[in-house]
A and B are shown apart, each in its own frame.
Chain A
Amino acid sequence: MLSLDGLVVRYGDTVAVRGIDLTLADNEIVTLVGPTGCGKTTVLRAVAGLEAPAKGCICIGDLTIDASNPVPPEKRRTGLVFQDFALFPHLDVYRNITFRLRDTAPAEHWLAVLGLGAVRHAMPDTLSGGQKQRVALARSLAHAPALMLLDEPLSNLDAALKTSLRWEIRDALKAAGVPALWVTHDQDEALSVGDRVGIMRDGRLEQVGPPETCFRDPASRFVAEFLGEAAFLPGRHAAGWLDTALGRASATDGPSLPDDVDVLLRPDDLALSTQGDHNAEVLNGRYEGETRLYQLRLNSGTMLKARVNHEVVLAPGTAVHTRIAAGHPLTAFPRQT
């Protein structure tokens, strides 16, 4: 439905997007995540037709867009959802949603689906943030887009609303059956709503893949650190096994590794105990509700984090025993010196 082929976008002399290849299947949601300035929003704007590609091409259905054929936004059938909602303030909810509709049935459908029936004649100014974003979503979906583009749709909403609306939007997109490119800077959001996640850095895609793969088997240290708490423990690689001071684990399939590696450890890959051979010291702990996250310093000096059940209470300075407890293969990177 959407494919990007070597997409390059420039703003004057600065290159914002440096060659991106990406294909979305019908009905697939891909989240684009990355730090500020990585070019993720630019990709979205280029697909929407708000920026012209300098090189490469964008295919939306039968449309092929490149530098010599810059199809204007209104010809692309893309639905855009912004973080600031971009509702038309002079039109009420219903007239926002039916903006260019001849047949208003889809508007009724989405009003009902998104629970907006009660505010159909309200003016945008009088709505809450969540309602505004539902209206924006209904407006886009009612216009039957070939592709949905969401630009940080949740970042202007408060935390409690974020999670629930996340699922609502995902369900609506799935119900509409349109592919969607969803830009966010929140890795939780990226991992939870995307069928696949694309991690961008400095105008390039570092990795695209299912959320689990990206999280467990990141293609780079950058991806590993960006998607969650990550620590790197020196170890040795031999015949598909990783040996470290904290125990042994199998290595994920991937490019061949040298003998000396750094093993990626997520906090939940470790187990903690006050019993046994004390090989680390608790520096501090953070209560997270169901779990606790402890920062540890191994006797070798390496810093690690471990997440354990909230019932395990350890004062700073406590000597502990820690070991690898993951039941899944771990990812390692060539040793950095």
Chain B
Amino acid sequence: MKTPLSYWLSLPVAAAVLAPLAVLAWLGLQAELAFDAGNAAIVINSVLLTMLTVLGAILLGVPLALATTYIRLPGRPLWLALLAAPLAIPSYLGAFAYFAAFGPGGTLENLTGVNTPNLRGLAGATLVMTLYTYPFVLLTTRSALRHLNPAMLDAARTLGLSPGRALLSVVLPRARNGIAAGALLVALYTLSDFGTPAILRLDTFTRMIFVEYNAFGLDRAALLSLQLLALVAVILWLETRFGAERERPTRTATLDLGAGWRAATMTAGLLLMLAALALPLLVFGDYFWREGVGDFDPILAWHSAYAAGLAAIVAVVVALPVAYAAGLGRRGRLLERIAHLGFGVPGIVLATALVYVGLQLSVLYQTLALLVIGYVLRFLPLAVGSLRTRLERIEHHQIAAARSLGAAPFEAFRRITLPLALPGIVAGAALVFLEAMRELPATLLLQPTGFETLATYLWRVYEAGYLGRGAVPALLLVLISVGALVALLTGEERAGEARGA
């Protein structure tokens, strides 16, 4: 049988995703360093941060999932949106805010006169990572709970269990897979995150890769990258073991736990929102109030948008054959799986490899093209995913009908597949755009000379200690992130409607 064109188009994409990994392996092999105490400390820090963050995210996410599922809260949809909102804020903004707010001379002391301790190291990083990742657990657990048969809960109650006991002994064990899926996402996110440990000074893999890269240690950075990838691989492998088994939802049970529980839930939610959303806004707002726009150059916002826009366009163009091939057969699905790998490769790791590639291929070195390639490799799965869900809804019969009416394959693609996939293309491009705008570590390493973006400016401001100048880019990034959340939620809603129709 003839190999479809989309396979041929997807093949170079898959190769491009694998190439950086090969480069890292090669660089890592050249490292003359063995595993030493310093390296062990990095492993321990990374694993500790990941485990503590997962623990924190479960402790926050699971009770909130139970509360938002079973307790009748006034304004429940608003609560849900608010409680999920921290996910949309890049954690480095949170880290920046906590860095600036706490400690002697921090915003909190300036505003209230109360001395607060520095939030640094493992404790600070765990706090910030937990605040910005717990929604993963909240959302996956909620989804699992909503797929549980509520009759089970009713049965438990009629058998004499109190609501609390019923939740603990009947509901939670069934939601285990949902919780695990969320926890693994948290772990993946925490391991990959560069900004938070870097700003709060915890020597994790991502921070030390950056440090080594900046201190004549490209080989050592590659070696650390490979170790990090091994950890990521473990997480991804675990993820495949927790396929969510779903029960048919009939209706969602509610528990009347009384006004006390409602009040407690809302108080806890409010405190969380204060910590995760209000505090950063307070810090950035305070800086903005005191320093104004300062010498902020709007060209930075344009740079961010320009690079992210290019990445979005390239990503959907590249994603189209991959998503198409994925629907054709086993080989196509394999190609799609490979393209998916980029998501598991932390930005700092990908960038380290690409800088080396750039040094070898000097036409690419420090060019916008290399930065865009970095974004595309990293965020391609977002575009492929949203395109696939769209393409899957196009019936093969519609294409067959067009062909039988006399349309050649390309005409059928142009007049049927493309217009029908358009919402997916737009959604995919929007997702890639918003993620690329916020991306920090790869941008730091790959930015062309003279091409500063909001994220790198914020980072430089942090490095130089002139935190006040970070207000405008930080507020702009928050705005963009809110845009991302809104786009995502309305997109999901629309998808839901279409499915319901």
Contacts and interface: CB of A to CB of B under 8 A. Distances in A.
Q: Do chains A and B touch in the complex (CB under 8 A)?
A: yes
Interface of A: 48-50, 72-80, 82, 84, 86-90, 99-100, 125, 136, 139-140, 143, 145, 149
Interface stretch (B96-104, B195-203, B398-406): B398-406
A49 B403 contact: yes
Contact of B404 (A88, A90, A140): A140
Interface in B388-442: 395, 397-398, 400-409, 411-412, 415-416, 419-420
B215 interface: no
B497 to A, nearest CB: 12
Contacts of B34: none
B501 interface: yes
A48 B404 contact: yes
Contact of A90 (B395, B405, B407, B419): B419
B420 A139 contact: no
A74 B419 contact: no
A149 B400 CA distance: 12
Contact of B407 (A50, A74, A77, A80): A74
A101 to B, nearest CB: 9
Contact of A79 (B404, B411, B419, B501): B404
B403 A82 contact: no
B218 to A, nearest CB: 49
Contacts of B403: 49-50, 72-74
A100 B406 contact: yes
11 contacts: A74-B405, A74-B411, A84-B397, A88-B398, A88-B420, A100-B405, A125-B501, A139-B401, A140-B404, A143-B405, A145-B404
| Chain B interface extent, by class | 20 to 34
Interface string B284-307: 000000000000000000000000
Of all A-B residue pairs in the complex, the 3 with the closest CB atoms, nearest first, are: A86-B397, A73-B403, A80-B404
Contacts of A48: 400, 404
B401 A82 contact: yes
B406 A74 contact: yes
Name the residue in B401, B407, B411, B419 with the highest tally of chain A Cβ atoms < 10 Å from its Cβ: B401
A88 B408 contact: no
A88 B406 contact: no
A145 B403 CA distance: 12
Contact of A73 (B395, B400, B419): B400
A72 B402 CA distance: 12
Nearest to A125: B501
Contacts of A80: 400-401, 404
Contact of A140 (B395, B405, B420): B405
B423 to A, nearest CB: 10
Given A77-B406, A89-B398, A139-B401, 16 more contacts: A49-B404, A50-B403, A72-B403, A72-B408, A74-B405, A74-B408, A76-B404, A80-B401, A86-B400, A99-B402, A99-B405, A99-B407, A100-B405, A140-B405, A143-B406, A145-B404
B478 to A, nearest CB: 36
